[in-house]
Amino acid sequence: MDGAAWPQVRGDLSSTRWGAAAFLNNLEAACTSISRSEWAIRWTNIGDAHRLLGDTNIEKGYFDEAAEDWLCALTAFEVARRLACEHDPEGAGVPAKINTVIQKVGARQQKIERVLIDCCDQVEIVAHYWPANGHSSAAPAIICISTEEEPATTLIGRLLPVVMDRGMSVLVVANSDVSNARRGQSDMFLSCCVDYLASRSDIDAARIGIYGDGSSAAMATDFAASDGRIAAAVCDGGLWNLARMLASVDWITGTTDVPDEEVVSARRLRSLRRLRCPILVVAGGRGIVSASEAMKLLRDGAAAPIDLQLAIPQMIATDGGEVENFVTSDDRIFGWLEHKLVLNSPSNHC
């Protein structure tokens, strides 16, 4: 167990991520002998060691090795951030460490651009753009919306090690920037993000996807249904809006009767048919979709020509609450996006 939980600090990203995934899979057993807070400290130390190794490699002129060291650090710090319990002083400094490493990566690799996206009424969205690694031609792009509780930089730090070599550019926006808009404007704001990406010469406008992290999955569904330019969506498949609608009906009618399953199934299918692109629904874990409802959605979707797949992150129970194995979950999500937008592109079938 200790071997999986304490990977060697050698700048090998695949080994670091494998070690992080193995540790999280066995977290419940690991916490029987060492506290969750202590593990948070250990993974913070692993991140610090990778960061310092990257700094040393920069001094030696080993730029590629330094970049991989820093990506390892981001993975380790994300493990530590998730292990640190609320109000736990051991985790208070981790977000600042993540921001520092993001700046180091951006200074030596493709620059992480801070862009202002113009919308109506003289409103601007602040977004962060990361270009595809090593692409000389127009690449696909993913609009990533952070979950409600986290800033955009937290999502950037988590995703950089995942997207680095997948041939996709990423535009990250904060949930708060989009959801705080007046009613009906969230889709318009995201449409402006698509406009921005489509205007860039390094982006293939026909291969733009959207990913709603956690509570932003419903927002991703609504936008993918409203904007036909979206080529793939990681979202909730309309389940959150359906649940709210059913709850409203119960409240208005003053009944607590179990709704007719055939009626609910028809509404699920109606929501799915609004989506004209392949979709991946992430269920369970910290998300807003239960695994049981997602399975019903998958069943209903089988009755229509809809490209629908389901991903259920592994959750590990500890005394401090459940922890998601974000490593395997993110690999699944962005592997799916890569398959839909990169590997299935016309240029790869010539």
Lowest-confidence region among 15-24, 82-91, 302-311, 331-340: 82-91
Instruction: Among 107, 126, 157, identify where a domain stops.
Output: 107
Residues 266 and 128 grouped into a single domain: yes
The residues near 168 (Cβ < 8 Å, ≥ 6 apart) are: 132, 139, 140, 141, 142, 334, 337, 338, 341, 342
Residues 126 and 228 grouped into a single domain: yes
With contact defined as beta carbons under 8 Å apart, do 162 and 334 qualify? yes
Residues 38 and 121 grouped into a single domain: no
Residue 56 structural domain: 2-107
Residues 137 and 17 grouped into a single domain: no
Residues 55 and 145 grouped into a single domain: no
pLDDT over threshold 90, residue 8: no
pLDDT given at position 344 = 73
How many domains does the chain divide into? Answer: 2
Instruction: Among 80, 107, 134, identify where a domain stops.
Output: 107
Residues 56 and 164 grouped into a single domain: no
pLDDT digit string, tens, across residues 200-224: 999 999 999 999 999 899 999 999 9
Is the pLDDT higher at 218 or at 121?
Answer: 218
Residues 171 and 259 grouped into a single domain: yes
Q: For the domain that residue 181 is a member of, what is the CATH number?
A: 3.40.50.1820
Residues 139 and 279 grouped into a single domain: yes
Residues 156 and 290 grouped into a single domain: yes
Residues 200 and 145 grouped into a single domain: yes
Chain length of the chain? 350
pLDDT over threshold 90, residue 11: no
Residues 182 and 304 grouped into a single domain: yes
Instruction: Among 107, 126, 148, identify where a domain stops.
Output: 107
Residues 58 and 129 grouped into a single domain: no
> Average pLDDT, stretch 168-186?
81
Is the pLDDT higher at 149 or at 199?
Answer: 199
